[in-house]
Amino acid sequence: MDRTSRTAGVDVGGTKVAVGLLDGTTLTPHQLEPTELDEPEALLSQIARLVGTLGPVDSVGVGVPSVVRISDGRVMSSANIDAFRDVALRDELAQRLGVPVHVDNDANLAALSEAWDDDLHLLHESLVCITVGTGIGGGAVLGGRPLHGSHTSAFELGHLIVAADLLDGAPAPVDAPHPASLEYWASGRALDRLARDRGYADGPAITDAAEAGEDAAVDALRILGERLGVGIASVVTLLEPEAVVIGGGVSRAGELLVGPARETAKRLLLPGLGIQTEIRVAQHGPQAGLRGAALLARIEESTPA
């Protein structure tokens, strides 16, 4: 990987757009604005304008909460940006910016960020990142690069069915999140439900209470963590990565969440499987998506065609 170039990272979310510059090995966040949600043209113009504030760059990486067609960087659908569907994001931005642009799902880029250290040396050949926020995202890295499906960014881990009643056959299809999905049971929304059932305002309030040692709050995070552990056990069964890292806003609960998740995953795995898989809190916090986007551009431009 080239450790001297200047690459821009763009992290597009349902509420904000962040841009930053990876200059050599140093990432510097520069701008943060509310996301232009009304229609694709407004968001494309916003991204191009924000990247322009960084000065000259060699290439741009963009992370979006979306299903991305990898062959041409087209956004097929977005979970939190209704207007951002069937948009030629890569080509539109490249035309406006005059430099190569690379696009991927934001959770894949959070995983990419966790796989490389601050000196841009590869820490993990294989890694899965689970982002636990309002919903659940998932991304994977294999050989230092995002792991994709045959056509799309794939790895929509939050939509993994983990709690279906199969007594009479398959459950009926419903709008996402499916009530048997990992996202339904282990996301920030699920923590909100657990909090309200116990008399707390929401997930952040019950996390504060758990950190203060309140038993009911600690137990709620145990429940959420064990649910998450069911999904982690499935991931390790399929891939057995070197590491599974937990990011997103809910991960601020730290070991109150990750400890039960780790114990549950290990308990549910076949003997001998995943013995050396590390399960821990992600290291790059809210900058993971931005850092991963800038890394994506660096990696793609350093790879021979």
The structural domains of the chain, with segments of one domain joined by +, span 6-115+286-302, 126-283
Contact, 184 vs 193, CB < 8 A? no
E strands, 55-213, where? 59-64, 66-69, 74-78, 101-105, 126-132, 136-142, 145-146
Contact, 203 vs 191, CB < 8 A? yes
Of 112, 37, 75, give the one whose Cα is nearest residue 287. 112
Chain segment 151-204, per-residue pLDDT in tens: 998 888 999 999 999 999 999 889 888 999 999 999 999 999 999 999 999 999
Alpha-carbon 221 to chain mean position: 20
What gap in Å lies between CA 278 and CA 257, rounded to an integer? 15
What gap in Å lies between CA 36 and CA 57, rounded to an integer? 23
Q: Say if 6-115+286-302 and 126-283 have the same CATH topology.
A: yes
In CATH, which of 3.30.360.10, 3.30.420.40, 3.60.10.10, 3.40.630.30 is domain 126-283?
3.30.420.40
What pLDDT does 78 receive?
Answer: 84
With bands split at pLDDT 50, 70 and 90, how would you rate the model's confidence at 85? confident
Chain segment 252-289, per-residue pLDDT in tens: 999 999 999 999 999 999 999 999 999 999 999 889 99
Average of pLDDT values for 80-93? Answer: 88
What pLDDT does 304 receive?
Answer: 63
Q: Name which residue leads in pLDDT, 294 or 3.
A: 294
At 289, the amino acid letter reads G
Residue % of the chain over a pLDDT of 90: 84
Q: Which CATH superfamily is domain 6-115+286-302 in?
A: ATPase, nucleotide binding domain (3.30.420.40)
Beta pairing, strands 243-247 & 66-69: unpaired
Chain segment 37-71, per-residue pLDDT in tens: 888 999 999 999 999 999 999 999 999 988 999 99
Q: Residue 253: helix, strand or coil by DSSP?
A: helix
Chain segment 26-43, per-residue pLDDT in tens: 999 888 899 988 889 999
Q: Average pLDDT over the chain, rounded to whole? A: 94
